[in-house]
Structure 1
Amino acid sequence: MEEELIELGSPTASKRVILLHGLTGTASVIRPVAEYLCKRLGEDYSFLLPTAPIIKVKQFSGEPAHAWFDVKSSDFRREADIDGIFESSDRIASLVRNEISQGVSPKDIYLGGFSQGGVIALTTALLEPFAVAGVFAFSSYLPLEDQLTSRMTDVSKDVPIFQAVSLKDEFISQEMSDKASAFLRNRGNPVLIQNYDMKHEIRNRELDDVIEWIKSLA
């Protein structure tokens, strides 16, 4: 079965947002988030919501689930599935390049994601040879293995990043969030960090902050 891809907004909108769901999610699961953002950002923005493939997830005893990459340990910093991350990043990069081929400027393309989706959004933007408009990541992190960081492009240092940190997150530790923030800032990325007193979830107040951040960049 062909993987689900949901499109919201006018295909002739001047700006694109590619929004990625988290582990076990689908495009349909994160659609309400995109609808909220799309309504408040206005007709200049359209959204693409891809769905991750179904793979066997080690952390789930090998049971299949929609995942952008495998989770091999409850400690996400251990045994990171770098190959899986690269594979999904390449897939999202192909969506970006397709939009560019249709005349959309990289400076009008935003990448966003929740949890695993945030990992892929960040990775995709940091590996590309052009700078997208910005990346926003909810309750997420960034694997800092050499295989990934050594491939990050110099031009991607110009990409603005919005990092939404959930202070009561059951899965992504404060240490993981802090390490990602420090790494990105040290390489030169403009990073806006917003902390929220909530769990591993998405709420309207952080979406409102993302909307204001996107508008500030436009």
Structure 2
Amino acid sequence: MCGNNMSAPLSASIVPAARKATAAVIFLHGLGDSGHGWAESFEGLRIQHVKYICPHAPAMPVTLNMRMVMPSWFDIYGLDFSSSEDEAGIKRASETIKALIEQEVKNGIPSHRILLGGFSQGGALSLYTALTTQQKLAGVVALSCWLPLHNTFPQASANSANKDMPVLQCHGNADPIVNYSFGKMTEGRMKTLVNPDNYTFNTYQGLAHSSSPKEMDDIKHFILKTLPPDGNE
């Protein structure tokens, strides 16, 4: 599937709620990965009323990796904070995620009971999507990532419904792929776009470009806080 087919429905790994799903987490994987591994991780974070949806990105050539074809939400030209960006691809991917959120709304879960998140490239897309959608979300979990098209804000987020959304941003300070300093710059930029009182930035000492049991535990607490039982389970 090429990059121009992001409008096609996404397949996903799904961890169903143990009971009736009254809330959902949509989590986007990183470059070259799939939703399977993250679905397995979320199996360990079972919360009875929460459904986990881990979609798979389509395969496309990635400039950063010598145009090799791999799962990718959009093209990446470089990992410098000033690198050129695939603006059209980012916007197209964001619309696909908004459509996925809308599908869950049609399935009976209101958007304010949907938490959006992702790792690395997926985290970048989750931040961009949350800042540009009219769908009011429960919050965002952004792991080891950056804010794409950061120079287009605040104009792009002028009408966002999510200025007061809770955000949990996590980054290892030994990340050799997405530098920790990019994470801190993203935190600074994000705090000018959303309510800083609802923003949490967690640093993980010695963590590289990956997750950890402590981080997953922090994510579980954030999910429980932002998606509590609504009494209808």
8 Å Cα contact 1:77/1:143 also seen in 2: no
Identity %: 28
Question: What does residue 33 of structure 1 align with?
Answer: 41
CA gap of 1:3–1:214, structure 2 versus 1, over 3 A, is closer
Matched, 1:213 2:218: no
CA gap of 1:188–1:74, structure 2 versus 1, over 3 A, is closer
Question: What does residue 91 of structure 1 align with?
Answer: 96
The letter for the 2-side match of 1:185 is: K
Matched, 1:142 2:120: no
Deviation at 1:64, TM superposition (A): 0.4
Matched, 1:183 2:189: yes
Q: Matched residues in 2 for 1:144 and 1:118: separation?
A: 13
Deviation per CA, 1:167-186: give whole Å up to 9, x if none: 00011122211121111112
8 Å Cα contact 2:191/2:199 also seen in 1: yes
CA gap of 1:23–1:48, structure 2 versus 1, over 3 A, is same
CA gap of 1:180–1:208, structure 2 versus 1, over 3 A, is same
Q: Matched residues in 1 for 2:106 and 2:82: separation?
A: 36
Q: Matched residues in 2 for 1:62 and 1:77: separation?
A: 20
Deviation per CA, 1:127-179: give whole Å up to 9, x if none: 11132001001111112444464221342211110000110001112221112
The letter for the 2-side match of 1:118 is: G
Q: Matched residues in 1 for 2:213 and 2:41: separation?
A: 9
What SS does the aligned partner of 2:217 have? helix
Q: Matched residues in 1 for 2:225 and 2:91: separation?
A: 30
Structure 1 unpaired stretches of 5+ = none
Question: What does residue 75 of structure 1 align with?
Answer: 80
Q: Matched residues in 2 for 1:14 and 1:85: separation?
A: 29
Structure 1 segment 40-55 matched on structure 2, within 5 A: 42-55=47-60
Q: How many residues align?
A: 215
8 Å Cα contact 1:82/1:147 also seen in 2: no
Deviation per CA, 1:186-218: give whole Å up to 9, x if none: 223321011001100011110101111222233
TM-align CA RMSD: 1.9
TM-score, with structure 2 as normaliser: 0.86
**Structure 1 segments (4+ residues) deviating >6 Å:** none
8 Å Cα contact 2:140/2:166 also seen in 1: yes
Q: Matched residues in 2 for 1:169 and 1:54: separation?
A: 25
TM-score, with structure 1 as normaliser: 0.91
The letter for the 2-side match of 1:69 is: F
Choose which of 106, 124, 129 in structure 1 pairs with 2:129: 124
Choose which of 52, 61, 75 in structure 2 pairs with 1:56: 61
8 Å Cα contact 1:135/1:162 also seen in 2: yes
